[in-house]
Structure 1
Amino acid sequence: MRITVCTKRDLPGCVALNHLLPRLAGHRVQVLMSEVARPHEHSLPELARLRRFERDVPNRLLFPALDRMPAPPGRLLSFGHLSRRHGTACRPVREINDGDGLAALKSFRPDLVVSIRFSLIFHEEALAVPRLGILNVHPGELPRYAGLFSPFWTLLEGRDTIGCTVHWIDRGVDTGPVVGGGRLPVDPTRSLAWHVVHTYPLGVAALLRVLPDVLAGHPVPALRQDRALRRYRSLPAPEDFAAFHARGMRLVDPTDHRTLLGPFTAPDGSGPATAPDGHRPVTPAVGDAVTPVR
């Protein structure tokens, strides 16, 4: 089968690919990566802080240093090492409904598209390309947390778990039938960034449970969303971030940062890897007593 995986070129997207690509062995796989930068990232300091953690540090510092190494030093692989190990290029795209993204999608002719943190909305022409459809991994409980920043809104509202929903993409936004999902227990000692990274592997696991039947053309039980329960969320406003901090929660955290980067830099996620010159660390010492992402 031919499978296109659409994700985002950032830390959570890379972690999700690490969980997904090994399970797609035997299929022809194309990886398309969005690089969406929202205008609010430059005007809201909270969004700028998240961008630095999720994109700037991995893409500008960590991953290029790892890619220069002949072999990956850690348990999780950078985009470059994922490409080498699985024989598929991770290609950045600006659009998916026209331009480079649509051209890449059409030329590959996938049977199925899997979308995980892609940040681009599929419209008619792109929706029509894969004969089996498009499955999306949404980091929130649907229909209650449709839209953007679902883990943030879940934490702000004091929920005990963060849902991750696998659903078919239709012509709406986060409106398609649900085929699976998982729940991450909220850890009040951890940051939003930690919860975001740990939510996606649950969705990947749920996706993999239904994937064999989807690819075989077997009926997959799907639950239509109750539109009466739907709440669509957009980006938080400054007052939402203020309320988040007032509850004692953190967007990012240095300890979490080290814990999340640890699996990329050492096999046990507990220490810094050295650069090719053998002297300069790729990243500061990483890891703590909490088990990192696996």
Structure 2
Amino acid sequence: MNIVICTKRDLAGALVLNHLMPHLAEDRVMVLLSDKTRPAEKAQPELAEMKFLERELPVDVLFPLIDRLGGNGDAPLATFAGLQKRYGISFHTLSDINAPEAQTLLGDFAPDVVLSVRFSLIFKRPALDIARLGTWNVHPGALPRYAGLFAPFRALVDGQDRIGCTLHRIDDGIDTGPVAGIGWLPVQRERSLLWHVVNTYGPGLELFLSMLSDMRRDRVPELSAQDRTQRQYLSMPDAAQFAAFHQQGLRLSDREEYLEIVAGFLAPGQTMPTAVHEALDAVEAGTLGAAAPVEKVGAPCCCARA
């Protein structure tokens, strides 16, 4: 099959690709990456911290350092450049999936399936119709209730004992398409929000791989329409919502959890760069906003811009 995977150029996006690619060895794969950010991410300290840990620290600091040291061919997880080398896949970074050049890129690739995971760019027609077997989304929340942004955060604040990850076909709305299934991640309230965010996608990715296996056998997935009366679409949390989060004893991040996650990108014998520890010191000290704790590390980009 020709498969297009659309995701974000951040830590969770790299983890998504590492999850999927070992199962797509017989397929022709193209990856489209989004760098989209939102102004609100700088307006709220908690959002700035999450952005730093999810994007700036791994993509601007850790991954380039690993790549400059010769890559991570023996590591359990690969950086974006490492994924390109390991699997021979092509990467393209986009700012508008509906732009003519993006549609040409998709059309020339002739995808059977397009999968969007954490992509942040909204598909519109005709881009939505290019894939022969549909354009699909893995959404980190149980639809229809947890539509929109920061769904794992909302589930934690609501006291849910599990977080849903929904596989659905994309339609003309946002998080409104018919549902193929919901996978579930048990909540561990002693764990951080960031841990839940990066782990929520796994159950949804497994649903996609199962659906893909059925498609290879010409089996049409069974879909269920969403009950729109149960829909709650929300954007990024504000100060009051973060106050409620903290009042429940919940944490945005945890140093040891974070180091455990990113250690997977290190090859045997490699040690965590000092710059990462210094950055986490700044996070713990609450000094991220006072000054940039780390500088970007220059490295050749693996991603062509369409």
TM-score, length of structure 1 as denominator length: 0.89
| SS of match in other structure, 2:159 | coil
| Alpha-carbon displacement from aligned partner over 1:13-56 (angstroms, at most 9, x marks no partner) | 11011010111111111000000110111211111100100000
| SS of match in other structure, 1:202 | helix
CA contact (8 A) 1:66 1:282 kept: no
Task: Quickly say closer, same or farther: Cα 1:22–1:184, change in 2 above 3 A.
Answer: same
| Alpha-carbon displacement from aligned partner over 1:137-185 (angstroms, at most 9, x marks no partner) | 0000011101111001000101000001101111111111111221111
* Separation in structure 2 between the aligned mates of residue 216 and residue 282 of structure 1, nearest angstrom: 48
1:66-105 to structure 2, matched below 5 A, reads: 66-68=66-68, 69-105=70-106
Counterpart in 2 of 1:292?
A: none
Counterpart in 2 of 1:58?
A: 58
Counterpart in 1 of 2:196?
A: 195
| SS of match in other structure, 2:249 | coil
Counterpart in 1 of 2:44?
A: 44
* Separation in structure 1 between the aligned mates of residue 154 and residue 78 of structure 2, nearest angstrom: 30
* Separation in structure 2 between the aligned mates of residue 246 and residue 167 of structure 1, nearest angstrom: 34
- AA in 2 matched with 1:53: L
1:130 aligned onto 2:131? yes
CA RMSD across the alignment: 1.8
Counterpart in 2 of 1:116?
A: 117
| SS of match in other structure, 2:126 | helix
1:180 aligned onto 2:181? yes
CA contact (8 A) 1:34 1:118 kept: yes
* Separation in structure 1 between the aligned mates of residue 71 and residue 55 of structure 2, nearest angstrom: 23
* Separation in structure 2 between the aligned mates of residue 144 and residue 63 of structure 1, nearest angstrom: 35
* Separation in structure 2 between the aligned mates of residue 51 and residue 73 of structure 1, nearest angstrom: 28
* Separation in structure 2 between the aligned mates of residue 274 and residue 199 of structure 1, nearest angstrom: 27
* Separation in structure 2 between the aligned mates of residue 274 and residue 102 of structure 1, nearest angstrom: 42
- AA in 2 matched with 1:19: H
Identity value in percent: 47
1:214-253 to structure 2, matched below 5 A, reads: 214-253=215-254
| The 10-residue stretch of structure 1 (175-184 or 102-111) with the greater mean CA deviation from structure 2 | 102-111
1:273 aligned onto 2:270? yes
Structure 2: give runs of 5+ residues left out of the alignment. 279-306
- AA in 1 matched with 2:219: H
Alpha-carbon offset, residue 130 of structure 1? 1.0
Structure 1: give runs of 5+ residues left out of the alignment. 286-294
Alpha-carbon offset, residue 12 of structure 1? 0.7
TM-score, length of structure 2 as denominator length: 0.86
- AA in 2 matched with 1:56: E
**How many residue pairs were aligned?**
277
Counterpart in 1 of 2:281?
A: none
| The 10-residue stretch of structure 1 (148-157 or 107-116) with the greater mean CA deviation from structure 2 | 107-116
